[in-house]
Amino acid sequence: MTTKNIRFHSLDKEDVPRMAEMENAAWGPLGAGADTIRRRLSLGHTMIAASIDSLVAGAICFVETNQDPHDTAKFPKTFSAYSSMARSEPALSLYVYNLGVRPEFRGTDIARRLLSELIEHGRRVGARWLVGDGRCPSYAGAQHDTPDKVLPDQRFRATIDDWHRTGVTPPVKSIIRDPLLRFYRRVLNCEFLHLAPGFLPEDASSGGYRVIFAVDVTQ
């Protein structure tokens, strides 16, 4: 799939139907509907799309916040809370809750280019931390109603279960057995901060878990 005519731009209310179509294509039943997208925009969220003609091929969505991701006591405990924060100042962090790409555009450079747009935005507004809630579908493998193509990895599952049980962060090499977490580590050189159990129970592929990671864009 060619991406030479791609255009990166911020989404507004008029783009909501096209964004909702991308969410459904990228995430299946986990994707956000039009009402959720409108509510997030009303909270001051930023959504940067990669469009080809009128098609939203992918997007990255985040909110500027004055929170520090290393403060685990204050970090949102669920995806609903994480993706429903109101924009706050000064923008210490960008909390990213969606990096979605339509299946037919996976394997292209769209995801990397959206992350580059994110980094540029962070530096422009003076943020220090880019923060993500990393899915880990190797925990249980692809489910029938999601577009994942990831096989279950019992060693990775044991790593996550031990992390949850002990609270001890495992070695990076054990975390990046999961291909999505490996992608973020390779592209962003991110730091894995903490495990978030029960973050999104509906995400059976990830066992409801998220691995919270951060990147210092001032380095």
SS (H, E, C) the chain: CCCCCCEEEECCHHHHHHHHHHHHHHHHHHCCCHHHHHHHHHCCCEEEEEEECCEEEEEEEEEEECCCCCCCCCCCCCHHHHCCCCCCCCCCEEEEEEEEECHHHCCCCHHHHHHHHHHHHHHHHCCCEEEEEECCHHHCCCCCCCCCCCCCCHHHHHHHHHHHHHCCCCCHHHHCCCHHHHHHHHHHCCEEEEEECCCCCCCHHHCCCEEEEEEECCC
Would residue 140 count as lying in a domain? yes
What is the count of structural domains for the chain?
1
Would residue 21 count as lying in a domain? yes
Would residue 113 count as lying in a domain? yes
Would residue 1 count as lying in a domain? no
Specify the pTM: 0.94
The CATH code of the domain that includes 208 is 3.40.630.30
pLDDT tens for the chain, residues 1 to 219: 556 789 999 999 999 999 999 999 999 888 999 999 999 999 999 999 999 999 999 999 999 999 999 999 999 999 999 999 999 999 999 999 999 999 999 989 999 999 999 999 999 999 999 999 999 999 999 876 666 679 999 999 999 999 999 999 999 999 999 999 999 999 999 999 999 999 999 999 999 999 999 999 998
Parent domain of 181: 7-216
Would residue 138 count as lying in a domain? yes
